[in-house]
Structure 1
Amino acid sequence: MQLSRIIMDTPHDCESVEEIKEALQNNNPALAIAKIQEYLDRQKNTALNIAITGESGSGKSAFVNVFRGIKNGDAGAAPTGCVETTSEPTPYPHPNYPNVTLWDLPGVGTTKFPADQYLKLVGFEKFDFFIIISDTRFRENDVKLAREIQEMKKKFYFVRSKIDDVLRAEKQSQREFNETETKERIRDNCIQGLQEQGIQSPQVFLVSSFELHLHDFSLLTETLERELPEHKRNVLLFAMPNISQEIINKKKKAFQANIKYVASLSAAAAAVPVPGLSIAVDAALLIRVVKEYAVGFGLDIPSLENLAINTGVLFTDLMAVITSPLATIEITVERIFKVFSHCASSAALMAAEEGARFIPLIGIPAAMGLSFTTTYRMLNFILDKLADDAQKVFKKALNTTE
């Protein structure tokens, strides 16, 4: 079994992957496996700190909550209100990805946090980027903060919040209402106002915390993902709510890119001539990875319950479109092997692996190859099913059809 061929066939400029390739080229499979495990763990543990700031009452806390898939008022939610509810920088870890933290920062320009000292007082160094939120035109304090952030060589983005309220009011007051033109006018107005105050090429996004799938939230997430360092892009991607088919497809592609590394760990276990060990390792790997898939696609019970409440679609109706036996339930060894039994080729490969391991000379390499192939096929099979279910749930939540 040539692990080097498997890893090296896929070009990648990640430093960790280059270390894996080097270990394999030097005929050091033990080091390669250690590096693979380190690579997979690093992806899960990479910290991403997002600062959410703006003046009081601008909708910061509501944005923090909806990004994390938590309803206002839930346990662990950022408190919302029409007055300033945040007196100190407050961290809100993502419930499914605790390495991703949204920080609800105090309003800019308060007595305790004056604009000219704001970044120092909130500890700007730890934040990867800033989102500056306003529910009206961006004010002087917002601009001062943007300038300070720019001087510190950090990224910042302007979010015009509560756009649903504005559009509703505009629709009621205008005889001939055009939503697209109205949003363009609001966006242009914000950009012009920021440019007049010295902000060059400001990026402004119109967002409703109650209608994430509408307006500019998808564009915002695409921009954040594009402008983040490469090693943090997937960290952000997996924490994003599934508010578009494109995000679901991107998550699937990111999950798929790691399958060869997980399968390589399976192949390493197959090199040990202990009956049943490879199967046990494969089951443990699959359970861990499939759980990540289900949570990432929002197919766990808490995510589906929140989606039902946020969209008004019955929870039972969302459940009804799910076909994978590994969604919405506890992932166990028994359920994993039940899926194995429905995939005849994988079941046959697994049986062949156990027998091949004890063939003199060629047995271990053959068992490693069979183990890799089995795990690789199974994970792709499961990923396809769960991604399809995620798309069906998304369409059902929006009451759309094919």
Structure 2
Amino acid sequence: MDPSSNSVYFSLEELKDLESAYESGGMEKVVILIQEKLNKLKSAELHIAVTGESGAGKSTFINAMRGLRSIDEGAAKIGITETTMVPTQYKHPSFPEVCFWDLPGVGTTTFPVKDYLREMKFQQYDFFIIISRGRFTENYAKLAQEIKTLGKHFYFVRSQIDNDLRALEIEGRNAERKTELTKIRNACVGCLREAGISQPTVFLISSFQVNEFDFSALWATLINNVDNMKKDIFLKSLPNIALEIVEWKRDQLKKRLWMLATVSGTVRAEGVSGAEGTEAVSGAMAGDLACDLRKLITAIEEMCTCLGLDDASLQRLANVARKPVEVLKAEVKTPLTGEINNECMKTMLQCSNFKASVDMELPINLVQIIASIFQTVSSAGITYKLLSNALTELVKNAKNVVKAAFGTD
């Protein structure tokens, strides 16, 4: 399933509010409601708890989820002994609203299960990753049952799969890889069923090979089980380790283009009197356009970061792929990742062309409302087309970077 397929930013009630606002107050009221939704998207937070027994690889997993190595600034501390003594928060380096919590190992003398469930304050987390490096024990089942009583989702991850396969090679047991992975998965599932988990799903991963094994399947499952607002921010935070992740991000970003176009390009130039950040632009359509160039520039910059085309993201991906960052940067051939000023944006607007019946990829219950807006306000349509073209160009570059990083065809 496409992790972005079911994401709708507006509830049915909010859609009715949009329609009523347009009928009673025109675009001014509509823009206010849409801007409020965009602000909520920016302020939403996601808190992910990573738990399990001591030494299972929780800290390494958190680093992998954020595209970091243990030697990078801000990385979770890794050690052969228990290094996490209190719940420790690690924010994503580019999207700090996505927070991972490294919880102390469960079942140790310091944190026996009966105290662990109370002291970790499980209610504050959105969902839980339960990690094991071997068989899942009774402690894991107790954790899962406690999480279930809170109405939260939990996911079982079997870590260090690369070490298991390497050990088989050293022993000269040249068994077929898929067969061995199936054996490991079945053993984990069997233990969890014996411990009282009726239909467990186990993801096999290596935190040092995030483009292998079940990492993509894990991400897809996590995204499909969070609400729409948090789905949006979690998708943005994923490292681009596969082409499908870039496609998920593209589809998610498409869903907000009409909102960005509406708030940045729905005022005709003749109705503007010195509005801050808003300038008249000669367009290809009749009359002049009034667009908030600052908002358009910010929108493109945010798309660049989401698609991993900023310098920091490229460096993190190069580290994961073990490639010189220059190799990845060489695949970024669009000027949109550089500094975009007002004059550059005006040129892009003048080159934009828009027809309301074309390229409007909207939920069916939005089409009538927004199509009416875009047909009435020429600036909204042109800015939509500009952002759509920019997204297409950025996605193309992001895919080229993934191919260079991992040799993906």
TM-score, with structure 1 as normaliser = 0.86
Query: What's the % identity of the aligned pairs?
Result: 38
Find the counterpart in structure 2 of residue 295 from structure 1.
305
Find the counterpart in structure 2 of residue 396 from structure 1.
404
Quick check: 2:353–2:385 contact (8 Å CA) kept in 1?
no
Give the distance between the partners of 2:101 and 2:267, measured in 1 at CA.
41
Structure possessing the higher relative contact order (Cα contacts under 8 Å, 6 or more residues apart): 2
TM-score, with structure 2 as normaliser = 0.85
Find the counterpart in structure 1 of residue 76 from structure 2.
78
Give the distance between the partners of 2:180 and 2:155, measured in 1 at CA.
21
Q: CA deviation at 1:294?
A: 0.7
Give the distance between the partners of 1:194 and 1:70, measured in 2 at CA.
31
Quick check: 2:266–2:291 contact (8 Å CA) kept in 1?
no
1:277 to 254, 279, 282: 279
Find the counterpart in structure 1 of residue 366 from structure 2.
none
Residue 176 of structure 1 aligns to a residue whose secondary structure is: coil
Structure 1's unaligned 5+ residue stretches are 1-9, 347-364
Find the counterpart in structure 2 of residue 371 from structure 1.
379
Residue 76 of structure 1 aligns to a residue whose secondary structure is: coil
2:335 to 312, 318, 325: 325
1:79-121 per-position Cα deviation (integer Å, ceiling 9, x unaligned)? 0111111111111111221211100111112334221232321
Q: Pick closer, same or farther for the CA change 1:105–1:181 going to 2, 3 Å.
A: same
The aligned length equals 372
Give the distance between the partners of 2:280 and 2:67, measured in 1 at CA.
37
Q: Pick closer, same or farther for the CA change 1:181–1:278 going to 2, 3 Å.
A: farther
Alpha-carbon RMSD: 2.4
Structure 2's unaligned 5+ residue stretches are 1-7, 282-289, 355-372
Find the counterpart in structure 1 of residue 4 from structure 2.
none
1:311-352 per-position Cα deviation (integer Å, ceiling 9, x unaligned)? 12222221122221112x3444344345456x3648xxxxxx
Q: Pick closer, same or farther for the CA change 1:220–1:366 going to 2, 3 Å.
A: closer
Residue 78 of structure 2 aligns to a residue whose secondary structure is: coil
Give the distance between the partners of 2:216 and 2:83, measured in 1 at CA.
28
Give the distance between the partners of 2:246 and 2:16, measured in 1 at CA.
28
Find the counterpart in structure 2 of residue 170 from structure 1.
168
Residue 336 of structure 2 aligns to a residue whose secondary structure is: coil
Matched residue type, 1:41? N
Give the distance between the partners of 1:15 and 1:113, measured in 2 at CA.
46
Structure 2 residue 334 is the aligned partner of structure 1 residue 336: no
- Of the structure 1 ranges 367-376 and 330-339, higher mean CA displacement relative to structure 2 is found in 330-339
Find the counterpart in structure 1 of residue 263 from structure 2.
265
Matched residue type, 1:206? L
Structure 2 residue 73 is the aligned partner of structure 1 residue 64: no
Q: CA deviation at 1:282?
A: 2.8
Find the counterpart in structure 1 of residue 128 from structure 2.
130
Residue 377 of structure 2 aligns to a residue whose secondary structure is: helix
Structure 1 or 2: more helix by fraction: 1
Find the counterpart in structure 1 of residue 118 from structure 2.
120
Residue 258 of structure 1 aligns to a residue whose secondary structure is: helix
Residue 42 of structure 2 aligns to a residue whose secondary structure is: helix
Q: Pick closer, same or farther for the CA change 1:107–1:32 going to 2, 3 Å.
A: same
Give the distance between the partners of 1:95 and 1:119, measured in 2 at CA.
29
Matches within 5 A, 1:1-400: 13=11, 15-270=13-268, 272-274=271-273, 277-278=279-280, 281-327=291-337, 329-337=338-346, 339-340=348-349, 343=351, 345=353, 369-400=377-408
